[in-house]
Protein backbone atom coordinates (compact mmCIF):
# COMPACT_ATOMS: atom_id res chain seq x y z
CA UNK A 1 0.00 0.00 0.00
CA UNK A 2 1.45 3.39 -0.95
CA UNK A 3 1.69 6.35 1.42
CA UNK A 4 -1.06 8.32 -0.35
CA UNK A 5 -3.54 5.44 0.03
CA UNK A 6 -2.57 5.01 3.65
CA UNK A 7 -3.14 8.73 4.31
CA UNK A 8 -6.52 8.61 2.54
CA UNK A 9 -7.56 5.64 4.69
CA UNK A 10 -6.38 7.36 7.87
CA UNK A 11 -8.54 10.35 6.95
CA UNK A 12 -11.51 8.07 6.35
CA UNK A 13 -10.91 6.43 9.74
CA UNK A 14 -10.92 9.85 11.37
CA UNK A 15 -14.35 10.68 9.90
CA UNK A 16 -15.77 7.85 12.02
CA UNK A 17 -14.22 9.05 15.29
CA UNK A 18 -17.18 10.66 17.00
CA UNK A 19 -17.42 10.59 20.79
CA UNK A 20 -19.37 7.29 20.90
CA UNK A 21 -16.82 5.58 18.67
CA UNK A 22 -13.88 6.91 20.70
CA UNK A 23 -15.57 5.58 23.83
CA UNK A 24 -16.02 2.14 22.24
CA UNK A 25 -12.40 2.06 21.12
CA UNK A 26 -10.95 3.31 24.40
CA UNK A 27 -13.00 1.55 27.09
CA UNK A 28 -12.71 -2.15 26.25
CA UNK A 29 -11.06 -3.87 29.24
CA UNK A 30 -10.70 -7.19 27.41
CA UNK A 31 -12.86 -8.79 30.08
CA UNK A 32 -14.10 -11.36 27.53
CA UNK A 33 -17.76 -11.19 28.58
CA UNK A 34 -18.77 -10.76 24.93
CA UNK A 35 -16.82 -13.73 23.57
CA UNK A 36 -19.42 -16.46 24.04
CA UNK A 37 -22.22 -14.11 22.97
CA UNK A 38 -21.29 -14.24 19.30
CA UNK A 39 -22.94 -17.02 17.31
CA UNK A 40 -19.94 -17.13 14.97
CA UNK A 41 -17.47 -17.70 17.82
CA UNK A 42 -19.86 -20.16 19.44
CA UNK A 43 -20.05 -22.18 16.24
CA UNK A 44 -16.40 -21.68 15.14
CA UNK A 45 -14.39 -21.01 18.32
CA UNK A 46 -11.53 -18.87 17.05
CA UNK A 47 -10.77 -15.53 18.74
CA UNK A 48 -10.86 -13.69 15.40
CA UNK A 49 -14.57 -14.55 15.29
CA UNK A 50 -15.32 -13.13 18.74
CA UNK A 51 -16.59 -9.63 19.21
CA UNK A 52 -13.47 -8.46 21.04
CA UNK A 53 -11.22 -10.27 18.55
CA UNK A 54 -12.79 -8.46 15.60
CA UNK A 55 -12.67 -5.05 17.25
CA UNK A 56 -9.09 -5.50 18.39
CA UNK A 57 -7.76 -5.07 14.84
CA UNK A 58 -9.54 -1.73 14.51
CA UNK A 59 -8.49 -0.75 18.02
CA UNK A 60 -4.81 -1.41 17.26
CA UNK A 61 -4.94 0.77 14.15
CA UNK A 62 -6.70 3.45 16.21
CA UNK A 63 -3.91 3.28 18.83
CA UNK A 64 -1.24 3.58 16.17
CA UNK A 65 -2.53 6.68 14.43
CA UNK A 66 -4.84 8.48 16.80
CA UNK A 67 -3.42 7.94 20.30
CA UNK A 68 -0.22 9.29 21.79
CA UNK A 69 0.81 5.86 23.05
CA UNK A 70 0.88 4.42 19.56
CA UNK A 71 2.73 7.41 18.17
CA UNK A 72 5.51 7.49 20.79
CA UNK A 73 5.77 3.82 21.79
CA UNK A 74 4.78 1.66 18.81
CA UNK A 75 7.31 -1.01 19.98
CA UNK A 76 4.90 -1.94 22.80
CA UNK A 77 3.30 -4.18 20.20
CA UNK A 78 -0.25 -2.98 20.73
CA UNK A 79 -0.50 -1.25 17.40
CA UNK A 80 -0.70 -2.35 13.81
CA UNK A 81 -0.02 -0.54 10.59
CA UNK A 82 -2.63 0.23 7.94
CA UNK A 83 -1.43 -1.97 5.10
CA UNK A 84 -2.77 -4.60 2.71
CA UNK A 85 -2.53 -7.37 5.30
CA UNK A 86 -4.51 -5.27 7.78
CA UNK A 87 -7.13 -4.57 5.12
CA UNK A 88 -7.52 -8.32 4.57
CA UNK A 89 -7.99 -8.73 8.33
CA UNK A 90 -10.60 -5.94 8.25
CA UNK A 91 -12.50 -7.85 5.57
CA UNK A 92 -12.33 -11.09 7.54
CA UNK A 93 -13.60 -9.35 10.69
CA UNK A 94 -16.30 -7.19 9.13
CA UNK A 95 -17.78 -9.67 6.69
CA UNK A 96 -17.95 -12.50 9.20
CA UNK A 97 -19.97 -10.27 11.56
CA UNK A 98 -23.70 -10.10 10.89
CA UNK A 99 -24.11 -6.88 12.87
CA UNK A 100 -26.59 -8.63 15.13
CA UNK A 101 -25.37 -6.73 18.24
CA UNK A 102 -25.93 -9.69 20.58
CA UNK A 103 -22.44 -9.12 21.97
CA UNK A 104 -23.47 -5.63 23.04
CA UNK A 105 -26.02 -7.14 25.44
CA UNK A 106 -23.19 -8.83 27.35
CA UNK A 107 -20.64 -6.01 27.36
CA UNK A 108 -20.63 -4.06 30.65
CA UNK A 109 -19.90 -0.89 28.66
CA UNK A 110 -22.39 -1.56 25.88
CA UNK A 111 -19.65 -1.53 23.25
CA UNK A 112 -21.24 -1.74 19.80
CA UNK A 113 -19.16 -4.06 17.63
CA UNK A 114 -21.39 -3.45 14.62
CA UNK A 115 -20.52 0.24 14.82
CA UNK A 116 -16.81 -0.55 15.13
CA UNK A 117 -17.07 -2.84 12.11
CA UNK A 118 -18.47 0.19 10.29
CA UNK A 119 -14.91 1.59 10.31
CA UNK A 120 -13.57 -1.57 8.68
CA UNK A 121 -16.31 -1.48 6.06
CA UNK A 122 -15.74 2.19 5.26
CA UNK A 123 -12.01 1.68 4.84
CA UNK A 124 -12.60 -1.36 2.65
CA UNK A 125 -14.71 0.83 0.34
CA UNK A 126 -11.92 3.43 0.39
CA UNK A 127 -9.38 0.76 -0.57
CA UNK A 128 -11.72 -0.62 -3.26
CA UNK A 129 -11.80 -3.95 -1.43
CA UNK A 130 -15.45 -4.15 -0.40
CA UNK A 131 -17.63 -7.00 -1.75
CA UNK A 132 -18.27 -5.87 -5.32
CA UNK A 133 -21.60 -7.67 -5.52
CA UNK A 134 -23.00 -5.42 -2.77
CA UNK A 135 -21.68 -2.32 -4.55
CA UNK A 136 -23.32 -3.40 -7.79
CA UNK A 137 -26.66 -4.12 -6.12
CA UNK A 138 -26.58 -0.85 -4.17
CA UNK A 139 -25.76 1.15 -7.31
CA UNK A 140 -28.55 -0.56 -9.24
CA UNK A 141 -31.02 0.50 -6.53
CA UNK A 142 -29.76 4.08 -6.67
CA UNK A 143 -29.93 4.15 -10.49
CA UNK A 144 -33.52 2.94 -10.34
CA UNK A 145 -34.35 5.88 -8.06
CA UNK A 146 -32.71 8.31 -10.49
CA UNK A 147 -34.75 7.07 -13.45
CA UNK A 148 -37.94 5.53 -12.08
CA UNK A 149 -39.75 6.18 -15.39
CA UNK A 150 -37.52 3.64 -17.18
CA UNK A 151 -38.84 0.73 -15.13
CA UNK A 152 -42.41 2.02 -14.65
CA UNK A 153 -44.15 0.13 -17.48
CA UNK A 154 -42.45 -3.18 -16.67
CA UNK A 155 -43.25 -2.78 -12.97
CA UNK A 156 -46.93 -2.04 -13.64
CA UNK A 157 -47.21 -5.06 -15.91
CA UNK A 158 -45.54 -7.35 -13.35
CA UNK A 159 -47.90 -6.10 -10.64
CA UNK A 160 -50.98 -6.63 -12.83
CA UNK A 161 -49.80 -10.20 -13.46
CA UNK A 162 -49.78 -11.09 -9.77
CA UNK A 163 -53.18 -9.62 -8.94
CA UNK A 164 -54.99 -12.96 -9.50
CA UNK A 165 -52.79 -14.52 -6.79
CA UNK A 166 -53.86 -11.80 -4.36
CA UNK A 167 -57.50 -12.36 -5.30
CA UNK A 168 -57.06 -16.08 -4.60
CA UNK A 169 -56.23 -15.22 -1.01
CA UNK A 170 -58.78 -12.44 -0.50
CA UNK A 171 -61.45 -11.11 -2.85
CA UNK A 172 -60.96 -7.38 -3.18
CA UNK A 173 -64.05 -5.28 -2.51
CA UNK A 174 -65.90 -4.09 -5.66
CA UNK A 175 -64.58 -0.83 -7.04
CA UNK A 176 -61.24 -1.21 -5.29
CA UNK A 177 -57.90 -1.87 -6.92
CA UNK A 178 -56.26 -5.19 -5.97
CA UNK A 179 -52.79 -3.65 -5.84
CA UNK A 180 -53.07 0.13 -5.84
CA UNK A 181 -50.14 2.02 -7.33
CA UNK A 182 -49.11 5.63 -7.01
CA UNK A 183 -52.18 6.68 -4.99
CA UNK A 184 -51.75 10.20 -3.67
CA UNK A 185 -53.35 10.65 -0.26
CA UNK A 186 -53.34 6.93 0.64
CA UNK A 187 -52.87 6.30 4.35
CA UNK A 188 -50.23 3.59 3.97
CA UNK A 189 -47.28 3.16 1.63
CA UNK A 190 -46.31 -0.50 1.65
CA UNK A 191 -42.67 -1.03 0.69
CA UNK A 192 -42.02 -4.58 -0.52
CA UNK A 193 -39.03 -6.48 -1.88
CA UNK A 194 -38.62 -7.51 -5.51
CA UNK A 195 -40.04 -11.05 -5.29
CA UNK A 196 -43.81 -11.31 -5.64
CA UNK A 197 -44.09 -13.34 -2.44
CA UNK A 198 -43.31 -10.16 -0.53
CA UNK A 199 -46.29 -8.42 -2.16
CA UNK A 200 -49.09 -11.00 -2.50
CA UNK A 201 -49.79 -11.85 1.17
CA UNK A 202 -49.41 -8.23 2.25
CA UNK A 203 -51.85 -7.04 -0.43
CA UNK A 204 -54.40 -9.64 0.67
CA UNK A 205 -54.09 -8.56 4.32
CA UNK A 206 -54.32 -4.84 3.47
CA UNK A 207 -57.37 -5.47 1.31
CA UNK A 208 -59.00 -7.65 3.97
CA UNK A 209 -58.56 -4.74 6.39
CA UNK A 210 -60.08 -2.41 3.79
CA UNK A 211 -57.01 -0.22 4.28
CA UNK A 212 -56.25 2.86 2.24
CA UNK A 213 -52.87 1.86 0.81
CA UNK A 214 -50.56 2.02 -2.14
CA UNK A 215 -47.55 -0.05 -3.18
CA UNK A 216 -44.14 1.58 -3.37
CA UNK A 217 -42.37 1.57 -6.73
CA UNK A 218 -39.14 0.81 -4.90
CA UNK A 219 -37.85 -2.25 -3.11
CA UNK A 220 -37.10 -1.90 0.59
CA UNK A 221 -33.78 -3.76 0.71
CA UNK A 222 -30.81 -1.50 1.41
CA UNK A 223 -27.50 -2.87 0.13
CA UNK A 224 -25.78 0.39 1.10
CA UNK A 225 -26.48 -0.46 4.76
CA UNK A 226 -24.91 -3.91 4.34
CA UNK A 227 -21.80 -2.23 2.91
CA UNK A 228 -21.60 0.21 5.81
CA UNK A 229 -21.77 3.01 3.23
CA UNK A 230 -23.86 5.79 4.71
CA UNK A 231 -24.03 7.75 1.43
CA UNK A 232 -25.36 4.83 -0.57
CA UNK A 233 -27.63 3.84 2.32
CA UNK A 234 -29.21 7.29 2.38
CA UNK A 235 -29.53 7.49 -1.40
CA UNK A 236 -31.42 4.18 -1.43
CA UNK A 237 -33.66 5.15 1.47
CA UNK A 238 -34.25 8.62 0.03
CA UNK A 239 -36.11 7.14 -2.96
CA UNK A 240 -38.75 5.81 -0.59
CA UNK A 241 -38.79 8.91 1.62
CA UNK A 242 -39.36 11.15 -1.43
CA UNK A 243 -42.12 8.87 -2.70
CA UNK A 244 -43.84 8.82 0.71
CA UNK A 245 -43.66 12.61 0.91
CA UNK A 246 -44.94 13.03 -2.66
CA UNK A 247 -47.89 10.73 -2.00
CA UNK A 248 -48.49 12.37 1.42
CA UNK A 249 -48.96 9.04 3.19
CA UNK A 250 -49.31 8.84 6.95
CA UNK A 251 -47.53 5.52 7.43
CA UNK A 252 -44.69 3.74 5.68
CA UNK A 253 -45.01 0.00 6.33
CA UNK A 254 -41.82 -1.93 5.68
CA UNK A 255 -41.98 -5.46 4.33
CA UNK A 256 -40.50 -8.33 6.34
CA UNK A 257 -36.89 -7.14 6.04
CA UNK A 258 -34.98 -6.33 9.23
CA UNK A 259 -32.31 -4.07 7.78
CA UNK A 260 -34.78 -2.09 5.66
CA UNK A 261 -36.93 -1.53 8.75
CA UNK A 262 -34.06 -0.40 10.96
CA UNK A 263 -32.63 1.90 8.30
CA UNK A 264 -35.96 3.65 7.73
CA UNK A 265 -36.94 3.72 11.41
CA UNK A 266 -33.65 4.66 13.05
CA UNK A 267 -31.05 5.78 10.57
CA UNK A 268 -32.67 8.27 8.20
CA UNK A 269 -33.75 11.05 10.56
CA UNK A 270 -37.25 12.37 11.23
CA UNK A 271 -40.06 12.07 8.70
CA UNK A 272 -43.56 13.49 8.26
CA UNK A 273 -44.87 9.91 8.38
CA UNK A 274 -44.55 7.06 10.86
CA UNK A 275 -42.50 3.99 10.03
CA UNK A 276 -43.77 0.56 11.05
CA UNK A 277 -42.76 -3.03 10.44
CA UNK A 278 -45.53 -4.79 8.53
CA UNK A 279 -46.15 -7.11 11.49
CA UNK A 280 -47.07 -4.06 13.61
CA UNK A 281 -49.76 -3.23 11.08
CA UNK A 282 -51.09 -6.80 11.09
CA UNK A 283 -51.26 -6.76 14.91
CA UNK A 284 -53.13 -3.44 14.78
CA UNK A 285 -55.64 -4.76 12.23
CA UNK A 286 -56.27 -7.82 14.41
CA UNK A 287 -56.64 -5.83 17.64
CA UNK A 288 -59.03 -3.38 16.00
CA UNK A 289 -61.08 -6.20 14.48
CA UNK A 290 -60.30 -5.06 10.94
CA UNK A 291 -59.14 -8.53 9.97
CA UNK A 292 -60.06 -11.93 11.36
CA UNK A 293 -58.10 -15.15 11.27
CA UNK A 294 -58.58 -18.78 12.06
CA UNK A 295 -56.07 -20.83 14.04
CA UNK A 296 -55.29 -23.09 11.10
CA UNK A 297 -51.79 -24.10 12.22
CA UNK A 298 -52.00 -27.11 14.51
CA UNK A 299 -48.38 -28.21 14.16
CA UNK A 300 -45.87 -26.97 16.76
CA UNK A 301 -44.70 -23.56 15.56
CA UNK A 302 -41.78 -21.48 16.81
CA UNK A 303 -40.70 -17.92 16.03
CA UNK A 304 -37.32 -16.41 15.18
CA UNK A 305 -36.77 -12.81 16.35
CA UNK A 306 -34.82 -11.08 13.56
CA UNK A 307 -31.99 -9.10 15.17
CA UNK A 308 -32.71 -5.84 13.36
CA UNK A 309 -36.43 -5.84 14.16
CA UNK A 310 -36.28 -7.31 17.68
CA UNK A 311 -33.05 -6.64 19.60
CA UNK A 312 -32.20 -3.57 17.52
CA UNK A 313 -35.72 -2.39 16.73
CA UNK A 314 -37.69 -3.27 19.87
CA UNK A 315 -40.47 -5.24 18.11
CA UNK A 316 -41.01 -8.30 20.33
CA UNK A 317 -44.65 -8.71 21.29
CA UNK A 318 -46.62 -7.91 18.12
CA UNK A 319 -45.34 -10.99 16.26
CA UNK A 320 -46.23 -13.16 19.26
CA UNK A 321 -49.72 -11.68 19.44
CA UNK A 322 -50.22 -12.30 15.72
CA UNK A 323 -49.02 -15.89 16.08
CA UNK A 324 -51.48 -16.41 18.95
CA UNK A 325 -54.26 -15.63 16.45
CA UNK A 326 -53.23 -18.21 13.85
CA UNK A 327 -51.54 -21.09 15.70
CA UNK A 328 -52.65 -23.34 18.54
CA UNK A 329 -49.28 -24.83 19.55
CA UNK A 330 -46.66 -22.10 19.84
CA UNK A 331 -43.29 -22.90 21.39
CA UNK A 332 -40.69 -20.25 22.18
CA UNK A 333 -37.08 -20.88 21.32
CA UNK A 334 -34.58 -20.38 24.15
CA UNK A 335 -33.15 -17.78 24.40
CA UNK A 336 -35.52 -15.39 22.66
CA UNK A 337 -36.41 -11.71 22.23
CA UNK A 338 -33.35 -9.48 22.84
CA UNK A 339 -31.15 -12.48 23.63
CA UNK A 340 -32.15 -14.53 20.60
CA UNK A 341 -29.35 -16.09 18.58
CA UNK A 342 -28.80 -14.42 15.22
CA UNK A 343 -29.76 -16.64 12.28
CA UNK A 344 -26.33 -15.98 10.79
CA UNK A 345 -27.50 -14.53 7.50
CA UNK A 346 -27.40 -10.79 8.22
CA UNK A 347 -24.86 -8.13 7.37
CA UNK A 348 -25.13 -8.86 3.65
CA UNK A 349 -24.03 -12.52 3.95
CA UNK A 350 -27.17 -13.93 2.33
CA UNK A 351 -26.91 -11.47 -0.56
CA UNK A 352 -23.23 -12.37 -0.97
CA UNK A 353 -23.94 -16.12 -1.08
CA UNK A 354 -21.34 -17.35 1.42
CA UNK A 355 -23.30 -20.57 1.98
CA UNK A 356 -20.45 -22.58 3.48
CA UNK A 357 -19.52 -19.89 6.00
CA UNK A 358 -23.16 -19.17 6.86
CA UNK A 359 -23.78 -22.82 7.63
CA UNK A 360 -20.60 -23.32 9.67
CA UNK A 361 -21.01 -20.10 11.62
CA UNK A 362 -24.63 -20.75 12.59
CA UNK A 363 -24.49 -24.22 14.07
CA UNK A 364 -25.65 -22.73 17.36
CA UNK A 365 -28.81 -21.43 15.64
CA UNK A 366 -29.52 -24.81 14.10
CA UNK A 367 -29.14 -26.40 17.55
CA UNK A 368 -31.57 -23.87 19.00
CA UNK A 369 -34.21 -24.53 16.35
CA UNK A 370 -33.84 -28.28 16.83
CA UNK A 371 -34.17 -27.97 20.63
CA UNK A 372 -37.53 -26.22 20.23
CA UNK A 373 -39.00 -29.43 18.84
CA UNK A 374 -41.06 -27.38 16.39
CA UNK A 375 -41.90 -28.66 12.93
CA UNK A 376 -42.46 -25.14 11.64
CA UNK A 377 -40.73 -21.82 12.20
CA UNK A 378 -41.83 -18.38 11.10
CA UNK A 379 -40.12 -15.04 11.07
CA UNK A 380 -40.52 -11.48 9.82
CA UNK A 381 -37.33 -11.00 7.79
CA UNK A 382 -36.65 -12.30 4.29
CA UNK A 383 -32.92 -12.69 5.01
CA UNK A 384 -33.62 -14.75 8.14
CA UNK A 385 -36.13 -16.83 6.21
CA UNK A 386 -33.54 -17.69 3.55
CA UNK A 387 -30.89 -18.46 6.15
CA UNK A 388 -33.24 -20.61 8.25
CA UNK A 389 -34.32 -22.53 5.16
CA UNK A 390 -30.66 -23.17 4.27
CA UNK A 391 -29.95 -24.22 7.87
CA UNK A 392 -32.90 -26.60 7.90
CA UNK A 393 -31.60 -28.27 4.76
CA UNK A 394 -27.92 -28.29 5.77
CA UNK A 395 -28.48 -29.63 9.30
CA UNK A 396 -31.43 -31.82 8.24
CA UNK A 397 -33.73 -30.16 10.76
CA UNK A 398 -36.86 -31.01 8.82
CA UNK A 399 -38.38 -27.66 9.74
CA UNK A 400 -40.69 -25.75 7.43
CA UNK A 401 -39.79 -22.07 7.34
CA UNK A 402 -42.46 -19.43 6.68
CA UNK A 403 -43.01 -15.71 6.50
CA UNK A 404 -45.44 -14.65 9.23
CA UNK A 405 -47.33 -12.40 6.80
CA UNK A 406 -47.82 -15.36 4.50
CA UNK A 407 -49.19 -17.48 7.35
CA UNK A 408 -51.62 -14.71 8.26
CA UNK A 409 -52.75 -14.29 4.65
CA UNK A 410 -53.61 -17.99 4.55
CA UNK A 411 -55.53 -17.76 7.83
CA UNK A 412 -57.77 -14.83 6.85
CA UNK A 413 -61.50 -15.40 7.31
CA UNK A 414 -64.64 -13.32 6.94
CA UNK A 415 -66.13 -12.61 10.35
S1 LIG B 1 -22.51 -8.09 16.22
FE2 LIG B 1 -23.17 -10.27 16.26
S3 LIG B 1 -21.90 -11.26 14.70
FE4 LIG B 1 -20.93 -9.30 15.17
S5 LIG B 1 -19.44 -9.75 16.80
FE6 LIG B 1 -21.34 -9.13 17.83
S7 LIG B 1 -22.42 -11.05 18.23
FE8 LIG B 1 -20.85 -11.51 16.67
S1 LIG C 1 -17.45 -7.39 26.92
FE2 LIG C 1 -16.99 -5.28 26.30
S3 LIG C 1 -15.26 -4.70 27.58
FE4 LIG C 1 -15.38 -6.93 27.69
S5 LIG C 1 -14.04 -7.67 26.03
FE6 LIG C 1 -16.09 -7.51 25.14
S7 LIG C 1 -16.14 -5.47 24.22
FE8 LIG C 1 -14.39 -5.49 25.66
Return mean pLDDT, the chain: 96
Mutate to test the pocket of ligand 1, among 90, 94, 110, 114 (most ligand atoms within 8 A of CB): 114
What is residue 68's predicted lDDT score, i.e. its pLDDT? 77
Q: Report how far residue 362's alpha carbon sits from residue 349's, in angstroms, rounded to the nearest whole number.
A: 12
Instruction: Give distance in angstroms: CA of 338 to centre of ligand 1.
Output: 13
Which fold, 3-129? Fumarate Reductase Iron-sulfur Protein; Chain B, domain 2 (1.10.1060)
Instruction: Give distance in angstroms: CA of 51 to centre of ligand 2.
Output: 8
> What is the CA angle 7-13-18, rounded to 5?
140
Tell the residue nearest (CA) to atom 8 of ligand 2.
28
What is residue 73's predicted lDDT score, i.e. its pLDDT? 63
Q: Report how far residue 266's alpha carbon sits from residue 134's, in angstroms, rounded to the nearest whole number.
A: 22
Which fold, 292-413? Rossmann fold (3.40.50)
Residue 25: nearest ligand to its CA? 2
pLDDT tens sequence across 269-326? 999 999 999 999 999 999 999 999 999 999 999 999 999 999 999 999 999 999 999 9
pLDDT tens sequence across 201-260? 999 999 999 999 999 999 999 999 999 999 999 999 999 999 999 999 999 999 999 999
- Which CATH class for the 134-287 domain? alpha beta
What is residue 69's predicted lDDT score, i.e. its pLDDT? 72
The b/e string for 44-68 (b: 16+ C-beta within 10 A; e otherwise) is beeeebbbbbbbbbbbbbbbbbbbe
CB 259 within 8 A of CB 343: no
309: Cβ contacts below 8 Å, ≥ 6 apart? 258, 261, 262, 277, 279, 315, 380, 381
pTM for the full predicted model: 0.96
Per domain, the residue ranges of the chain are 3-129, 134-287, 292-413
What is residue 148's predicted lDDT score, i.e. its pLDDT? 84
Decide whether 134-287 matches 292-413 in CATH topology: yes
pLDDT tens sequence across 316-330? 999 999 999 999 999
Tell the residue nearest (CA) to atom 6 of ligand 1.
103
- The CB-side HSE value for 139 (13 A sphere, CA atoms) comes to 6
Rg (CA), the chain: 22
Let me know how many helices (H) and strands (E) the chain has, helices first: 21, 9
Instruction: Give distance in angstroms: CA of 114 to centre of ligand 1.
Output: 7
- Of ligand 1's atoms, which has the minimum distance to the CA of residue 117? 4
Instruction: Give distance in angstroms: CA of 101 to centre of ligand 2.
Output: 13
CB 208 within 8 A of CB 412: yes
Query: pLDDT above 90 covers what percent of the chain?
Result: 95
Ligand 1 pocket list (CB less than 6 A):
37-38, 40, 51, 54, 97-103, 113-114, 342
The b/e string for 12-36 (b: 16+ C-beta within 10 A; e otherwise) is bbeebeeeebeebbeebeeeebbbe
Q: Report how far residue 302's alpha carbon sits from residue 378's, in angstroms, rounded to the nearest whole number.
A: 6
Q: Report how far residue 249's alpha carbon sits from residue 272's, in angstroms, rounded to the nearest whole number.
A: 9
pLDDT tens sequence across 86-97? 999 999 999 999
* Mean predicted confidence (pLDDT) in 179-195: 97
- The CB-side HSE value for 11 (13 A sphere, CA atoms) comes to 8
Tell the residue nearest (CA) to atom 3 of ligand 2.
28
Mutate to test the pocket of ligand 1, among 102, 112, 364 (most ligand atoms within 8 A of CB): 102
Residue 96: nearest ligand to its CA? 1
What is residue 44's predicted lDDT score, i.e. its pLDDT? 97
Question: Helix-strand-coil percent breakdown of the chain, rounded to 5?
Answer: 55, 10, 35
Closest CA to 402 of 370, 378, 386, 371: 378
Residue 344: nearest ligand to its CA? 1
Which comes out higher in pLDDT, residue 78 or 185? 185
Instruction: Give distance in angstroms: CA of 31 to centre of ligand 2.
Output: 5
pLDDT tens sequence across 32-74? 999 999 999 999 999 999 999 999 999 999 999 998 776 666 6
On the question of pLDDT at 76 being above 90, the answer is no
* Mean predicted confidence (pLDDT) in 353-371: 98
224: Cβ contacts below 8 Å, ≥ 6 apart? 138, 141, 142, 230, 231, 232, 233, 234, 235, 236
Which comes out higher in pLDDT, residue 91 or 151? 91
DSSP conformational letter for 311: T
Residue 113: nearest ligand to its CA? 1
On the question of pLDDT at 385 being above 70, the answer is yes
Amino acid sequence: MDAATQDMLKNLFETKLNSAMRLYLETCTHCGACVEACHVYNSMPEMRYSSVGRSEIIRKVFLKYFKLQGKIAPWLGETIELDDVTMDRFYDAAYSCTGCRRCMMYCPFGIDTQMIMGIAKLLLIGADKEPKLLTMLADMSIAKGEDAEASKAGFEEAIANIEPEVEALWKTAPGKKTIPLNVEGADILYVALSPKHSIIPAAAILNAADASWTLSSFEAVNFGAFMGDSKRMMAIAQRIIAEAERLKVKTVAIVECGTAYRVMKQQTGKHPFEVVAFVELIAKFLREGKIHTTKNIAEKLTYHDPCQVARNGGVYEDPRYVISQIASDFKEMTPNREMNWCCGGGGGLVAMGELEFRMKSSRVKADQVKASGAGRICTICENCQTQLTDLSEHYELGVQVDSLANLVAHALIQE
